[in-house]
Every structure is written in structure tokens, then in C-alpha cells.
Amino acid sequence: MLTSVSEMLITLGFASLSGWSFDISAIAGLIAAIGTGVNDQIVMLDEGVRDKTSASWKEKLKRGFKIILTAWLTMVVAMIPLGWAGAGLIRGFALTTIAGITIGILITRPAFADLVERVMNKEQ
């Protein structure tokens, strides 16, 4: 929950500093980015828990990051045509979604991975 809220606040701060108008489509893009972020967290935890090998949590989280980076690239490639060819509302959705998921990949996913690693090392 903490990483999702921080991702939302960072994205809103980025939008505010960039000066773009935040309309209903941008809010929908923010919701899509948060949903993608929650999915990424589930993937990271699933990779760590499902794998019963003796690999360290760091190795398990690296495998999770590979999946997350592939999903990020797919989402960005899907949103670029909407942002480029779209008008008005669609462009706001595409730009906010791209900004939100990129902020998630660069800032909040590593923070979440660090939190998971600390908790799992404390339990062992």
C-alpha cells in the first residue's frame, strides 16, 4: 500500500511540475498505472514464494524484474500510438500511463523489492 501511494504522489508531482492539465483521462491513466504497479508487486512476490530453490531473494527478485520490465515495455509500446495519434483525452491517458508505469519501474519497484528482501531476511 505504501509503495502504491508513493507511486501515485510521485506521478501527480511529476504531472504538476510538467504543467500538463490533469483531466478525467489522466486520472484513468493514473488508475491504470497503479493497477499495473500492484500487478508488478504480485509478480515479484510470486517469483519469490513460488520458487523453492535455494536461490537468494535477490536472485528471485531479479527474475521478477525481468518479467516486470517485459510488461513495462509492452505497455509503453501500446501507449505510444495513443499518445502520438490520439487527440485530447486519449493523449492524456497515454502520457499519464507511460509516466506512471515508468516512475513505478524506476522508483517504487526497487523500493518494494528492498522492503521484501528486508522482511524475508528478518524472518529467516
pLDDT at 124: 60
pLDDT tens sequence across 59-89: 877 888 888 999 999 999 999 988 888 766 7
Exposed (0-12), middle (13-18) or buried (19+): which is 111, by Cβ within 10 Å?
A: middle
Distance (Å, whole) CA 114 – CA 25: 32
Of 86, 74, 12, 79, residue with least CA distance to 40: 74
* Amino acid found at 8: M
Question: Does residue 94 surpass a pLDDT of 70?
Answer: yes
Residue 11's domain comprises 2-123
DSSP string of 52-91, one letter each residue: -SS--HHHHHHHHHHHHHHHHHHHHHHHHHHHHH--THHH
pLDDT at 115: 82
pLDDT tens sequence across 25-58: 888 989 999 999 898 888 888 877 776 666 777 7
What CATH number is given to the structural domain containing 76?
1.20.1640.10
Compute the 3-state secondary structure of the chain and give helix, strand, coil in percent, each to the nearest 5: 85, 0, 15
User: Total structural domains in the chain?
Assistant: 1
- Overall average pLDDT of the 109-120 stretch: 81
Predicted TM-score (pTM) of the model is 0.81
